[in-house]
Structure 1
């Protein structure tokens, strides 16, 4: 009986490995470059430059607006047209208003305090007025931890960005993979409603995968896809290259379905894969269409619809 049980166990294990192999299908020449590096922090040169130097929130003290400017009322809100972002919400002076992914809209809550609030000054609720194209019923307020009232649009707390120095600037777009210009309804400004993952034709790279915000998706050559998905990007690396959160296979368009799944990293973060390869965005990309992460460190590449690294030597 003991021998029979062991045989059955071996058969079950083999079947599970076979199923995983069939789902993930190790591609020729794309094996991880040294399994001993899986889960370890790579060399700094592999991360690429960040657009968020200084205090870690995307701005340093030398570039921040004056305290008076930070505290100014938004006044009469307006809607401007951006060739890259579509309809963008601005204040009365034409400065872009932003929203933070780590905040919540239901109920409204701001998670940006201290140094974060210096880099991203909260927009005061007092004095803000709706304009043409802005539904006044979406305007609200949230009480911050310091007791001040912050403007909300559709429940999302609104901010300015210290590195925007003139009307129309959108330097805060995509910073840290968590800050985005606000649309008139409080959602992220975008030219179109995109699925969780889709394909965009880049003039230089051809067909590449983008996320729901239209941001280019990348692969790290030190990651592993077989027999299980593993990310070698942790710590400071993950700050430069935020992991793409899992999306339903039904919420994709043009992306190969095989190996399209999510997994849970050792740090507890849930990450999406394309053909079982973990995928990321790049903090150095600030607007849809940017491909600043392409080829960084010779290890980061845009992802093709079948999950291969575009332009990499495999």
Structure 2
């Protein structure tokens, strides 16, 4: 009996040590809850201002979530635990109206920022978060990026589905594939026109009568995801209006992309005439 009592005492002592080292206030997934329910801005050195929770843990977005729904589930959540607060308070420099909530496919709730679901990063893939202030998840696999308060452009990864309802690959042949491309901050797809030449818009009419079909796109380029190069963007004047260029290609929306994440323009009027803009876009002729 004494031996059993001694053994039981040893087990309790070991459990206490484990509790102290790992944190007994963690939930079943090993995620340290953010009791404050806050999202704040902090300066992350070369990355500039980024969003963190009330404990200083960095928040991330997933390029696969361009449609506003979470594409991270199963084992993905072990490395990228979801962020959710049911009583969110935002810090100075942030707008409460930019935050929302979605119900995930698994039934859990998740907080969003400008329509992008928010995540943490767990380097050990066991739900234990990276230390407060760390940004080691930035550009992970070229699909995970820190959340900034004012991105100029964003990256998305999705299946290309044309205006004709057909799925396309990145070379605009029919098929199933996930392609990365540029969007605005609200997840709206950006395109180039193959008949344009360097820094020259050959589509838009002088009276802008066709602008509703392919609206020209412009934004001041300031904050970008880490794999994008600000120096590759420029600005041209199109009949008195500014248009952003990438590697010399003028950038456009497609008027019939009504929902975030849609990329119907890839098949209009036929595949390859209006390619998506992305990091593989060559220099304009």
The two structures have a TM-score, normalised by structure 1, of 0.42
Flag the structure with more relative contact order, 1 or 2, with Cα contacts below 8 A and sequence separation at least 6: 1
Higher-Rg member (1/2): 2
* Higher normalized helix content (fraction of residues): 1
